[in-house]
Chain A
């Protein structure tokens, strides 16, 4: 069973591809790291998966998943931290799928929200406005919301950027817990050591797939060198692309 199926996907902006001709599958319940230099298209790929960016070409199949079964943690969330909302209320928006526009949030849901806040280590922060949190605390809040979303596919875009080691360790434990629960987790990451130690599968991306497979086989100096050499600039005079999927994952 595949959670995600890429059919020769090209994603980009203004016809310029940022991710070129990606094909392959992500199995249900796998824990996948997406690595690559800045500008490699990691965020673009994740935006394509969660459906906020439509592919220029090809398609992404969600294997029976609804867009509501996906929880997405963007890299630079467009969150207005000055908005007067408490940690509790903010985390509770993770229950959207259950509550929707008008559904009430009863005693059971309240307990669930409190448990989610507790499990990211923010007991006692329930009534704090989100504007008063530190960067690491806000990231914990966002993880608590992902937790509540109870999604079968979890997509995290560089979730540990500018986060201290204690917070990283706590949140990474949560990611591994999600994996153990059988959820599919996809994370864009920079820390190769973390990928090596904790992620079973890796996709090396550099404007297109460089290598994809078990982390130990994929994370080689050769592959990383290829990724590093990637050219970042768009060519404004580029011709229309005629190439078919040049790379398929095993």
Chain B
């Protein structure tokens, strides 16, 4: 019975196995990126970027139909363009990064909706907005795994300057010129992972599997390494449980995954060891020293 509910779907159906593999790849790469997005106060930047990749994906779709390679390439180009333009404008003028990004992503989103509405049908629009993790073919799965691998390798390379730039940017500027490039590379990783999640969860929810696990991790640890591990586990668990939920109840898979993550998030807010609400209401007797 329990086996049928929790493991059966994956032994029985290949599309479920593919979906599980995809969601674990997304968790491994996306969750660490999400932790840095959160710590750098860029959670909403991630959301904005998700909208920014829309016109690129739409152009890819216009040129070659529902070909995920073309849509991915288009999304990457649009996302990089917006990320780099916004980053360069923020760094070379006094304008804050969020303001310049808002400008570029709004322009990009307007362009994307225009392009989709010129040629697309309602079904296409739904696919673009919410993705379909249950329709992964071999090629798409390979792209997702490849992107995840690249993300982890590159993150390892920029890890040190990225951490220092997050804590004390002025210090990094006085000892090294690595801060600027590290920031731009990080934005590129954000884009890669958004496009990655876009295949499975769509533009609107792609950022969810990055930000929600990071938010969950914040309530369980004060240590960066531990937070990253917790976020990865939370994302993978959400992905797995969301797929099971989707399979048993016919809720669409993308929203199911994000809803499970939301439940974990609410539990963390209530019961989290670090700053959870229950901990604050009932902190226990104060210590001796």
- Residue positions of A touching B, CB distance < 8 A: 50-52, 67-68, 70, 72, 74, 77-80, 83-86, 90, 93, 96-97, 100-102, 129-130, 145, 149
Q: Are A79 and B222 in contact (CB under 8 A)?
A: no
Ranked 3 nearest A-B pairs via Cβ: A83-B167, A96-B175, A72-B174
Q: A78-B168, A79-B167 are in contact. Are A68 and B39 (CB under 8 A)?
A: no
Q: Are B161 and A101 in contact (CB under 8 A)?
A: yes
Q: Are B166 and A83 in contact (CB under 8 A)?
A: yes
Which of A100, A130, A145 has most B Cβ within 10 Å? A100
Q: Are B167 and A85 in contact (CB under 8 A)?
A: yes
Q: Are A84 and B224 in contact (CB under 8 A)?
A: yes
Q: Are B170 and A68 in contact (CB under 8 A)?
A: no
Q: A84-B222, A84-B227 are in contact. Are A97 and B167 (CB under 8 A)?
A: no
Query: B267 at interface (Cβ–Cβ under 8 A)?
Result: no
Q: In the complex, what residue of chain A is closest to B221 when comparing beta carbons?
A: A84
Q: Which residues of A contact B222 (CB under 8 A)?
A: 84, 129
Q: Which residues of A contact B169 (CB under 8 A)?
A: 78
Bound CA span A52–B157, Å: 25
Give the residue of A52, A67, A83, A86 whose beta carbon is less than 8 angstroms from that of B39. A83
Query: B138 at interface (Cβ–Cβ under 8 A)?
Result: no
- A139 CB to nearest B CB, Å: 14
Contact with A along B122-164 (1 / 0, CB 8 A): 0000000000000000000000000000000000010011011
Give the residue of B157, B161, B174 whose beta carbon is less than 8 angstroms from that of A67. B174
Query: B178 at interface (Cβ–Cβ under 8 A)?
Result: yes
Q: Which residues of B contact A149 (CB under 8 A)?
A: 175
Q: Are B168 and A79 in contact (CB under 8 A)?
A: yes
Q: In the complex, what residue of chain A is closest to B40 when comparing beta carbons?
A: A80
Q: Are A84 and B164 in contact (CB under 8 A)?
A: no
Q: In the complex, what residue of chain A is closest to B169 when comparing beta carbons?
A: A78
Q: A83-B39, A84-B223, A101-B160 are in contact. Are A68 and B175 (CB under 8 A)?
A: yes
Bound CA span A85–B176, Å: 20
Q: Are A70 and B168 in contact (CB under 8 A)?
A: no
- A186 CB to nearest B CB, Å: 14
Q: Are A50 and B174 in contact (CB under 8 A)?
A: yes
Q: Are A77 and B168 in contact (CB under 8 A)?
A: yes
Q: Are B173 and A52 in contact (CB under 8 A)?
A: yes
- A184 CB to nearest B CB, Å: 16
Q: In the complex, what residue of chain A is closest to B35 when comparing beta carbons?
A: A84
Q: A84-B221, A129-B222 are in contact. Are A70 and B174 (CB under 8 A)?
A: yes
Bound CA span A74–B171, Å: 9
Q: Which residues of B contact A96 (CB under 8 A)?
A: 164, 175-176
Q: Which residues of B contact A74 (CB under 8 A)?
A: 170
Bound CA span A93–B176, Å: 11
Of the A-B pairs whose beta carbons lie under 8 Å apart in the complex, a sample of 14, sorted by A's number, is A50-B174, A67-B175, A77-B170, A78-B169, A80-B166, A80-B168, A84-B39, A84-B224, A84-B227, A85-B167, A96-B164, A96-B176, A101-B160, A130-B167
